[in-house]
Amino acid sequence: MYRNSPQLQIIGKRTQRLPTKLKIAKWVGYFALFDILFLPYFQLIVVPFSLPVILFFMVWLRIEIKLDHFFLLFSIIVFFSLISIIYSFHLSSPQYFITLNIKRVAQLLLIFSYFFYFKWLASKIKLHLTPFIVLFIIYFSFLSLTFIQEPLVTTTFLKYIYGKVTATHEHALTHLRYSYFFSDPNTAGYFFLIAISPLLTEKRSVL
């Protein structure tokens, strides 16, 4: 009698609603994932467009980074990255190499903000990543098959969309190796496997 009450059903639905901040955090996460998989990077500093968005919302949402083994591993990476910068000054390297080293360290460490953001978000809500991953597989595969048939056209398209981070025409047409929006085909392969790994893990758990 009480289970079928409309009032109780409405109350149940209300209790299942996410807080506004979590809703925003969820859609920010989806945007970041779409950005990483499909959109081009900043051209001056090679980082995703969503990186400043992620950093802003980590502050706005007051995301606390747990002092667990992940943080310990990240601290080790930070430590040796800083040693790399200090060593550049110690060797009296040219200013160009010191600046480049600092930029690479900044890129490496800032990209971990995605890890800590999604780690926090996944502990709060269930994320539906399958549609993004399936769409990425279709897009990636379509471009790779097109590259086999029309390498010049595909390389020109990738260069136009993704800019200087992609392989040059000379490299792509000489080696005929598809590299997506990277300059190295091996990096594209690693990126593809990492991107689809949540789907593979999900299917494995079902089987």
Q: Cα dihedral sign for 200, 108, 190, 38?
A: positive
Give the Cα separation of 145 and 151 in Å (integer): 9
* Confidence (pLDDT) at 16: 59
Provide the token pair at 179.
């590299």
Q: pLDDT value at position 207?
A: 44
The reported pLDDT for the residue numbered 171 is: 81
Q: How many CB atoms are located within 10 Å of the residue 172 CB? A: 23
The mean of the pLDDT values for the chain is: 85
Cβ–Cβ under 8 Å, residues 44 and 66: no
Is 105:85 a contact under the CB 8 Å cutoff?
yes
Residue (of 68, 67, 51) closest to 117 by Cα position: 51
Indicate the pTM of the whole model: 0.80
User: Given a cut of 60, is residue 58 above it in pLDDT?
Assistant: yes
The rounded radius of gyration (Å) of the Cα atoms in the chain is 22
Q: Is residue 8's pLDDT more than 60? A: no
Is the distance from CB of 97 to CB of 42 less than 8 angstroms?
Answer: no
